[in-house]
Amino acid sequence: MIFKVGDKVVYPSQGVTVVESISEECLAGMTMECYNLRLMATNSKVVVPVGNVERVGLRALSDKADVGESLRRLRANEVGENGDWKDRYRANLERLKTGDLVSVVDVLLCLAEVAGRKTLSFRERKMFDQARMILVYEVAEVEGRDAVEVDSEIDGILQEHMGETETKGED
């Protein structure tokens, strides 16, 4: 996949980035053409050799239909099996690494369900926040909305799910 300066692309497990420039970089003693990316959420910079785009999983933004389906899935609260914390963490980490928006939603739903029952561990809380940030920025970019507005909407949906889980646990 080829990107140009100004394109917004998704770096798996990090979120939406902007291609700020394409330059020749000397990496590991070799000169390579590289994308110079800036993460939208943190303004951090990332350099990805053009030849490593597929291996890294860099992808174009999702289309509106995929974003709509992801939000529908989030609202529907379609949670799969969670397992113990080690299996859950490993599965969620793999989902985040794919960079796929539906997989990111699956991570959020899984961890929201757990958070409704108990306090998330430090690692899972960090993963929850990461997945949420990835979803917020991609939805905002694709739908042309303000990230703060999208964050508030997603927070409301997740709070409902966590509240439903707490209520179910009291029965």
pTM, two decimals, is 0.85
Query: What is the structure's pLDDT at 151?
Result: 95
pLDDT for the residue 42? 92
Nearest alpha carbon to residue 116 among 105, 104, 126, 108: 108
pLDDT at 17 over 80: yes
**pLDDT at residue 21 in the model:** 96
Distance CA 94, CA 138 (A): 19
Confidence band, pLDDT 50/70/90 cuts, at residue 1: confident
Q: Tens digits of per-residue pLDDT, 25-46?
A: 888 889 999 999 999 999 999 9
* Mean pLDDT, residues 105-124: 90
Nearest to 101 by CA among 138, 143, 64: 138
What's the pLDDT at 171?
37
Confidence band of 164 (pLDDT split at 50, 70, 90): low
Mean of per-residue pLDDT scores for the chain: 89
- Domains, the chain, ordered by start: 8-60 (2.40.10.170), 64-170 (1.20.58.1290)
Number of H helices, E strands in the chain: 6, 5
pLDDT band at 87 (very low <50, low <70, confident <90, very high): confident
Amino acid 13: pLDDT? 84
Each residue's pLDDT tens digit, 138-158: 999 999 999 999 999 999 998
pLDDT(50) > 90: yes
Which tokens in the block code for residue 84? 């113990």
Give the pLDDT confidence score for residue 80 in this predicted structure: 63
Hey, what are 82's tokens?
């969670």
Q: Look at residues 137, 132, 170, 169 and name the one whose alpha carbon lies nearest to residue 154.
A: 132
